[in-house]
Amino acid sequence: MLIGYARVSKSDGSQTLDLQQDALIKAGVEPEYIYKDLASGRKDARPGLDACLKALQPGNTLVVWKLDRLGRDLKHLINLVDDLRKRDIGFKVLTGHGAQINTTTANGRLVFGIFAALAEFERELIIERTRAGLVAARARGRNGGRPRKMDKHTLKMAMAAMSDPKSVAAEVAKRLGITTTTLYMYVNGDGSLKEAGSKLLKSGDMA
């Protein structure tokens, strides 16, 4: 089964979904299986995409008009595509720079595999950076126990680790030597900063 997703950035009527929907229907997606969002890809919540990803089942193919309709940024896109691969869900892009992605073809599967490799590479980098940071922290005398307060270095490692959708907050906090409560005081679940985290990065002192 083909499942479509369409998005425009503005909900004020200056942009419409008609072009994307027409292209998806022409590609074989039934209108009732097209999920939609009227939201910025980078900042706004996207309930349409959330519902689309939940609806997808093994053997389905997700179809989008252009690659930039799907991901918030490159990292988010890579993680999404890799998650589809692991769930045995196909992915097809109809036009634009990503039009060569179509897992129903050999070349498309090759590109899909490159995305998976990039996702794995990104996860390994996060793990490597976190471990290196912990080693550096121990070298400065923090050899065990929990630091009393969050500092900039720990915060940056927390942001990197939490940006991985597969990370578990409790495990990240344990690796960094802080409590989960402290972690969530500064960082959101997707690795973005909360107000306290933003203030800490802008300051020159501990927080």
Catalytic site residue 163? no
Question: CB of 67 within 8 A of CB of 8?
Answer: no
Range 35-59 burial, b when 16+ CB lie within 10 A, else e:
bbbbbebeeeebebbeebbeebeee
CA distance 164 to 194: 17
Catalytic positions are 9
